[in-house]
A = this chain, B = another copy of it.
Amino acid sequence: RSALRSPARLALGSFALVILLFAGLLSLPFATADGHRAPFIDALFTATSAVCVTGLTTVDTGTYWSGWGLAIIATGIKVGGLGIMTLASLIGLAVSRRLGLTQRLLAAGEARASGLGDLRSLLRTVLVVSFSVEIAIALILIPRFLTLDYGWGRSIGYSVFYGVSAFNNAGFSPDPVGLYPYSHDFWILVPLGLGVLVGALGYPVYLNLVRNWRRPRTWSLHTRLTLVMVGALMVISAVLLAIFEWSNPATLGAHSTADTIGNIFFQSINQRSGGFASFDIGDAREQTWLLEDVLMFIGGGSGSTAGGIRVTTVAVLLLAIMAEARGRRDMEAFGKRVGTEVLRGAVAVTMIGIAIIVVGTTVFMAQTDIPLDRSLYEVISAYATCGLTTGITSDLPDDAKITLIVMMYVGRVGSMTIAAALALNKQRRVIRYPSERPLIG
């Protein structure tokens, strides 16, 4: 059992070490644009944000750090993103094997259907998909930056940075003012949006898509639920964003119709986890913040660099509600039954997430006196490693920065660990108590 739990402990320890390493690198004088040593709290914050692929920043990435600093941040994102996906793969494999050993008779074909078989082909898929998408994004962006007269060095550097940042859902931008100048530039927004979208799907989906692209009928339940949820959430959030922000001159109201629609979809993709912003969220309406609070909390796909409680967790909760409403014995989707033990896991992940966010927001508000709207947005953004902000991150006191660092670390590594522990820790008991039904609701 200790061997099965080791991926979780490995995640906790290795992420802490890697974060400290990158904080050390960012503390070196040549990492900043003006050659001064960055305050350790800002170096630690930026390193945590990079390695946990969050994207929140206490200093302006494009102006504060030197070219070396940007390279360190991009490396941190790449190392963090790979670490997340490979550890998630390891955990997934451990779960799959464990199920194979003890539950083969109960759930025949489960491990096979989920497409997890051997470690090497799994890691190969993760590496091939991530590098391919990152390089593809960079190759599309380089000519665009050249036409904007950025010169070869900066064009290549920015393009690689954006490729890594997009696929890993990191939300960091090397541009001094972020993506705002490109809000009319679909040559840049489209590849970034697609990169974020693909990056948020997760390795179990890549395995299905890479191996059985032309045979959707063979796709696993996990792949189908992920794709349906990602699509549905994108459409729902686009419609609601249009309702809330179309008439807001500070955000989308100033654009042409085509640009507004483009920015709405870019934001719809990014608000669950990507973290790129093509307009200033701080100027958006309160309704938009609340909508994005919910979407950030839901997050992306399991086994991806996206954060949140994951779309399949929410799908399982929805299946439970649908089964209740229809009075069915089983939770069902796409001709498959979802066991009640999965629902229990989903409840645990969701409720622990809500509890951490409530506690984190309470501490954050006590430290900063910032009202609930912006505090909740910031804390959820950190916990769900989304990286969008209403613009308060750079003015925070140090203790509030530490709160966000903890939220980023817990949101990233903690939820992996919890999910792993929940999935692996299955005891069997012989004695069962008599059943009794409390009233609810």
Contacts and interface: CB of A to CB of B under 8 A. Distances in A.
Contacts of A321: 347-348, 351-352
Contacts of A335: 433
Given A327-B425, A438-B315, A347 B343 contact: yes
A110 B332 CA distance: 28
Interface in A17-52: none
Contacts of A254: none
Nearest to A422: B324
Greatest chain B CB density within 10 A among A346, A426, A438 is at: A438
A336 B434 contact: yes
Please classify the interface of chain A as helix (H, G, I), strand (E, B), loop, or mixed, using the class held by over half of its residues: helix
Interface residues of A, number: 93
Nearest to A240: B362
Contacts of A426: 327, 329
Most buried by B among A342, A343, A435: A435
A284 to B, nearest CB: 12
Interface stretch (A118-126, A170-178, A272-280, A370-378): A370-378
Interface string A309-346: 11011011110110111111111100111111011111
Interface in A341-397: 342-349, 351-352, 358, 361-362, 365-366, 369, 371-373, 375-376
A215 interface: no
A358 B294 CA distance: 9
A188 interface: no
Chain multiplicity (copies): 2
A434 B336 CA distance: 5
A193 to B, nearest CB: 25
A377 to B, nearest CB: 9
Interface in A297-311: 302-303, 309-310
Interface centre among A375, A422, A428, A437 (most CB of B within 10 A): A437
A183 to B, nearest CB: 24
A238 interface: no
B372 A310 contact: no
A149 B312 CA distance: 64
A344 B345 contact: no
A290 interface: yes
Contacts of A375: 286
Contact of A289 (B221, B325, B346, B372): B372
A426 B325 CA distance: 9
Interface of A: 92, 95, 99, 106-107, 109-110, 113-114, 202, 204, 220-222, 225, 244, 285-287, 289-291, 294, 302-303, 309-310, 312-313, 315-318, 320-321, 323-332, 335-340, 342-349, 351-352, 358, 361-362, 365-366, 369, 371-373, 375-376, 415-416, 418-419, 421-422, 425-429, 432-441
Given A327-B427, A336-B433, 16 more contacts: A114-B439, A221-B438, A285-B365, A286-B365, A290-B365, A302-B439, A321-B348, A324-B345, A328-B429, A329-B426, A337-B436, A339-B435, A342-B440, A373-B373, A419-B440, A419-B441
